[in-house]
Amino acid sequence: MKVLSKHRGFFDFFPPPKFLSMLPAGVAVSDDSVKCIELVATPSGMRIGRFGEEIIPSGAISNGVIQNAALVEKALSSLQTKHNLSFVRASFPEKEAYLLERSLPLAPRESLRETIESQFEEYVPMRRAESVFDFDVAGVSEKQGIARVQVSAASQAFARTYESVFRNAGMLPLAFEAEEQALARAIVQEGAPGTALVVDIGKRETTFAIVHEGSVWFTSSFEFGGESITQALGEALSLPLAKAEQVKCLYGVVPPSSHKEVAEEILKQLKPIEEKIRQHLSYQETLQNKKMPVERVIMSGGGSNLPGFAEYLEQSLGIPVTLANPWVNIISFDEYVPTIPLEEALRYASAIGLAMMSANN
């Protein structure tokens, strides 16, 4: 018996209407901004449609929790008006989503759902009556009669706060998904074997995700991002923040000898991220009696695009370290050059992964 279908995203509110001809845009929400992007299906393959970003005022969202709904709605409403958004697939922070993977007897999708629901409180630290959940069929072994499913769960109260701000801003969310799941969909090449560590360096926070054969197994984060590096560089070199940001992005960790102090200060500030990466490289878990050592590191987020940083980490860590390609699963550069430069696309990677949910269905 085969699994009937793959999961469309983290808890679908309702199926898309039949008249929906354009693919819903992906909308990624973080503490400091909201980004959207639309993928357009053409006879020549996927192309980029509308995209844009709005700043969320400081404090309106803190650690993923909406503190000021009016300010968040204002940013979302501005995005909706500028880009004429209606149906969307959106993200919320991994801190509020509980993720796990289970191997279940192969069955139709509804039967898998019933099995997960009946065992929900055995492996999810939430009361079922107060939670929403969905799952993704990550892999199937007909020979062994096993379906590998990834379960996502969140509290109903938290989920409804996100649904509410989107609806009040004039957008209808078809589904929500934990941000790191969307990110992995965009930057981890489909069918790639083994285990990768995704390092997503944002403005104020860095998030780590262990991704095994396309499934997110573990996530963690800490409050340190590109903004912290800029501030420290400005203080060390007595530069205004705008100039420090310019110097950071221009020279990175491989400046000319005349700016050696820039590299030294940036590397000093990047040490916490490097140490966190080393901790995650020791991660091992058992999947059907197989070890899952991390074999490669994928750098993402606007803060990862520092000249020479990936190369420095690769030499220091002794394993392959690459800058993410958010188009790896949907666009061939031989056929189409995206209208968004790669360094900017890194900031849109989660939104791209959300838009891919629509393209894959």
Q: What is the pLDDT of residue 133?
A: 82
For residue 138, pLDDT over 80 is answered with no
pLDDT over threshold 80, residue 120: yes
Model confidence at 359, pLDDT cuts 50, 70, 90, reads low
Question: Is a pLDDT exceeding 70 seen at residue 16?
Answer: no
Instruction: Return d(Cα 204, Cα 303) in angstroms, integer.
Output: 9
At residue 140, does pLDDT exceed 70?
yes
Residue 345's φ and ψ, nearest 5 degrees, are: -60, -30
| Confidence category of residue 9, pLDDT binned at 50, 70, 90 | very low
Residue 4: band (very low, low, confident or very high) from pLDDT cuts 50, 70, 90? very low
Helix (H) or strand (E) holding 177: strand 172-178
Q: What is the pLDDT of residue 337?
A: 86
Residue 337 C-beta-side C-alpha neighbours within 13 Å: 1
- Going along the chain from its start, the domains and CATH numbers come out as 1-96+155-189+328-361 (3.30.420.40), 191-323 (3.30.420.40)
**Are 173 and 88 a contacting pair, CB within 8 Å?**
yes
Q: Residue 168: exposed, middle, or buried by beta-carbon count in 10 A (0-12, 13-18, 19+)?
A: middle
Please state the φ and ψ torsions of residue 137, each to the nearest 5 degrees: -80, 100
Highest mean pLDDT out of 4-8, 35-39, 201-205, 332-336: 35-39
Sign of the torsion formed by the C-alpha atoms of 239, 243, 249 and 255:
negative
Q: Name the band, by pLDDT with cuts 50, 70 and 90, for residue 22.
A: low
Task: Pick the more confident residue, 256 or 27.
Answer: 27
At 358 the pLDDT is 66
Tokens of 236: 């060390």
Distance CA 328, CA 95 (A): 26
Q: Do β-strands 146-155 and 98-105 pair in parallel, antiparallel, or remain unpaired?
A: antiparallel
Residue (of 155, 208, 217, 211) closest to 184 by Cα position = 211
pLDDT, position 239: 93
CB 292 within 8 A of CB 212: yes
- The 3-state DSSP class for residue 346 equals helix
pLDDT of residue 11: 45
Q: Report the pLDDT value the prediction gives residue 360, as an integer from 0 to 100.
A: 59
Question: What span, in angstroms and rounded, lies between the C-alpha atoms of 117 and 103?
Answer: 14
Q: What is the mean pLDDT of residues 131-151?
A: 83
Q: What is the pLDDT of residue 361?
A: 55
Model pLDDT, residue 26: 96
Whether residue 6 has pLDDT greater than 70: no
Neighbours of 234 (CB within 10 A): 19
For the record, the structure tokens of 310 come out as 């990936």
Per-position b or e across 255-289, b if 16+ CB within 10 A of its CB: beeeeeebbebbbebbeebeebbeebbeeeeeeee
CA 62 to CA 200: how far, in whole Å?
A: 18
Q: Residue 231: what pLDDT?
A: 95
What is the maximal distance between C-alpha atoms in the chain? 67
Segment 249-302, tens digit of pLDDT:
998 888 676 778 888 899 999 999 999 999 888 765 444 445 678 899 999 998
Comparing 94-103, 229-238, 309-318, 342-351, the range with the smallest average pLDDT is 94-103
Task: Map residue 256 onto helix, strand or coil.
Answer: coil
> Quick one: pLDDT at residue 271?
94
C-beta of residue 347 within 8 angstroms of C-beta of residue 167 = no
pTM of the model: 0.84
Residue 197 corresponds to which tokens in the numbers above? 């560590």
Q: How far is CA 284 from CA 13, 175, 179, 197, 210, in A?
A: 35, 31, 23, 12, 10
Give the number of other CB atoms < 10 A from CB of residue 46.
20
Kindly report the backbone phi and psi dihedral angles of residue 248, in degrees, each rounded to the nearest multiple of 5, phi listed first.
Answer: -60, -50
